[in-house]
Amino acid sequence: MNKEEAIQEEELQKEKAEAGEVQEEPEAAKEQDIEEAAGDSKEPKEQKEKSEKSFLGKKKKKKDPRDEKIEELEDRVKRQMAEFDNFRKRTEKEKSHMYEIGARDVIEKILPVVDNFERGLDTVPEAERTNPVIEGMDKIYKQLMTVLTDLGVAPIEAAGQEFDPNLHNAVMHVEDEELGENIVAEEFQKGYTYKETVIRHSMVKVAN
């Protein structure tokens, strides 16, 4: 090999070496790109895991079955207490209503006795009012009326009052110019109320 061929061979080797470096650069770049891509891919994954961890950290813990059972029992007890309270109030109301019905029934039976006392005392002449028997009857009558008053029984005012169908029972009508129209002229039988409820209407005569 002469000098000229040696120079050519050296340039060829140099060109091959340069060509080899050029070919290696894309491989290196490719590997670098892969690593960068892998890094980019890894970063979102880490962020995602961090985000999921944060979300799970804030997630509400599952209730203990024992706590749920306690809440269920407490709710059941509260419902039963409310039902019992309603039952108690309803029972008291029914008892009160039954008492009033029983009291009305007894009072209605006593009122004729009161009427007889009043009729008997009205027929006694003024001169005999001092008679011990009459005084005894008068005292019994007053005691009976006191008991009825304490129970809530009150007589209905009738004579001279305007006729009220809710309180009075008109059995007669009379023409009387001295009395105004629809005024009670006379009371035949006294009426009574029991706790503001009429248990017997007044039997009256009304002026037209």
User: Domain residue spans in the chain?
Assistant: 70-151, 154-208
Second CATH level (architecture) for the domain 154-208: Roll (2.30)
Is the pTM for the entire model greater than 0.75? no
pLDDT per residue rounded down to tens, the chain (208 residues): 556 666 667 777 776 666 554 444 445 444 555 455 445 444 555 555 555 545 455 555 677 888 888 888 899 999 999 999 998 888 888 887 788 888 888 999 999 999 999 999 989 998 888 899 999 999 999 999 999 999 999 999 998 899 999 999 999 988 877 777 888 989 999 999 998 889 999 999 998 7
CATH number of 70-151: 3.90.20
Distance (Å, whole) CA 168 – CA 158: 7
**Other beta carbons less than 10 A from residue 203's beta carbon:** 17
- Name which of 112, 136, 108, 90 is nearest 193 in CA terms: 108
For residue 128, the Cα-to-chain-centroid distance in whole angstroms is: 65
